[in-house]
A and B are shown apart, each in its own frame.
Chain A
Amino acid sequence: MTYHGRRGTVSALSHVDFTLWQGEFVALLGPSGCGKSTLLNMVSGLIAPTSGRLAYRGKAINGPNTNIGYMTQRDSILPWRTTAQNIELPLQIRHLPARERREKVATYIEMVGLKGFENTYPSGLSGGMRKRVGLAQALVYEPETLLLDEPFGALDAILRLRMQAELLALMEKLGATVLFVTHDMDEAITLADRVVVMSARPARIIDEIEVGLPRPRNLEQLQFTAEYQEVRRRVWDNLGREIHSSEKEMANQ
């Protein structure tokens, strides 16, 4: 896998090689357990690749990459902190003045629809609400790059659509770079500029598809347009081939 910044170059995970350009929204689409999360852990600098290279803005990643906001698949919000305290945490770490912290926290709580739950501990929130706290926490310090690992998987359909729209609007406003992991084909196409399709283990990139749908996108209408259906067919062809080959592999074992 190759991860380029604006001036950037190379990085790798075996047989995975691609570049993420600044301001780009890339969706990593692949079956569960294919190593998508491992890939994000590498980009975040939490784990080092055993072979190959990985760079952020042209520099090799050594240790935690603090230019990013990372929303992991498993809840990483602290259970002993309330919603507001969790969202405030990255701002505290960055030593923002208290007033500014309060304002930002209020803005993002409003954005993820958790008004009224400011002082609730995670144990008192539903799974979807905890996800939203995590998202607000990753967004609140407005990092230049966002790594999102199936952030909306636990949400119901309506909330999911709302959060997707909010995310898109915010990304368009901030001009942030996003690497978005999902196993939902429609989610990948509606959100991303480019969909990178990965195979089952061992992880390999099967195809990269430029979505090319214009922005800003209207998520409610998008799925009914002909262009959308066209992209969807291409992604589906790729996934279909992958499903057949992995079925064959299973049969051979």
Chain B
Amino acid sequence: MSDTETLPRSTVANSLASPQPRRKLNPTIKIVLGQIAVVGLWLGSWEWMSGRLIDPFFSSSPSAIGQQLVEWFRTGSIWPHLLITLQEFSVGLLVGSVVGVLVGFTLGRLPTTAAVLNPFVTVVYSMPKLALAPLFVLWFGIGFGSKIVLVALISFFLVFYNTFTGARDVDPLYINSLRIMGANRLTIYRRVVIPSAAVWVMTGLRIAVPQAVIGAVVGELISSNQGVGYIIANAGAFFNTTGVLAGVALVACVSVLLSQLIIVLERWATRWKQG
């Protein structure tokens, strides 16, 4: 910046005229650098304080957590647990979102039925589904079943609610336009309702993914003998702070990765919005 000021007038004008002046830092790089700085500051101060200001028994430290994670993957002891959690997540999410999409589209196009059910849906939607986890264990056992039900229920509501809104709010102008062209109900569904609501379905999925991961892990925390949640619960029972935090960090990483996948999918499905 400062050397730009000393350049002759014409050069300054040229650099202003070009869409992206070369000497300026790309905003994306700036943001990423800022983010790296935040993480560095956070982990650095944590590492420094641990053992100096705070007893590592309570706070552990980034290096200890990192070592634990490396250890898990080096010995491979984490894999069976991680796979179990991922299975619970994916089966639950699949069941929940498929049912959510189907019910959402159906109710979205049946305004009267939707109006009748609306208050009940709101009540069930507002219920903390995680609080039901102990009941699911009672009903479906401590294994796979109870976690899948929990994950499916959580994802169902998020996907259903968004699909429902999307199917209900299709611009009637588009529907009318197709009716004049001679389209029947099925064609209108295929060409207008579904593509129009697809944006909402994707939003529902994007919100549902991290919640579904949490659902699977919490289900395991409450009672299980396998899964990342079980690892966390087990470490917690022995006051192993490092184990708990390593487990939580692993869950967070998995969740972020899965969310990124969905975002890519969402971009593809709504590519028409970018022009």
Q: Chain A residues in contact with chain B, CB under 8 A?
A: 44-46, 63-66, 68-70, 72, 74, 76, 78-82, 89-90, 93-94, 120-124, 141
Contacts and interface: CB of A to CB of B under 8 A. Distances in A.
Contact of B180 (A46, A79, A120): A46
Contacts of A94: 181-182
Which of B173, B196, B198 is packed against the most chain A CB atoms within 10 Å? B173
Contacts of B275: 120-121, 123-124
B174 A90 contact: no
B185 interface: no
Interface stretch (B112-120, B125-133, B187-195): B187-195
Contacts of A69: 180
B267 interface: no
Contacts of B192: 78
Given A121-B275, A123-B273, A93 B177 contact: no
A70 B174 contact: no
B179 A89 contact: no
B272 A64 contact: no
B77 to A, nearest CB: 47
A44 B173 CA distance: 13
Q: Is the interface of A mostly helix, strand, loop or mixed?
A: loop
B182 A79 contact: no
A78 B180 contact: no
B49 interface: no
B187 A93 contact: yes
Contacts of B174: 76, 78
A80 B272 contact: yes
B178 interface: yes
Given A76-B174, A90-B182, 18 more contacts: A46-B176, A63-B179, A64-B180, A66-B179, A66-B181, A70-B180, A76-B173, A78-B191, A79-B273, A80-B198, A89-B181, A93-B181, A93-B182, A94-B182, A120-B275, A122-B272, A123-B272, A123-B274
B183 interface: yes
Contacts of A81: 272
Contacts of A90: 181-182
Contacts of B272: 79-82, 121-123
Contacts of B198: 80
A221 to B, nearest CB: 36
A93 B187 CA distance: 8
A45 B179 CA distance: 10
Given A78-B191, A121-B275, A123-B272, A72 B173 contact: yes
A64 B173 contact: no
Nearest to A65: B180
A66 to B, nearest CB: 4
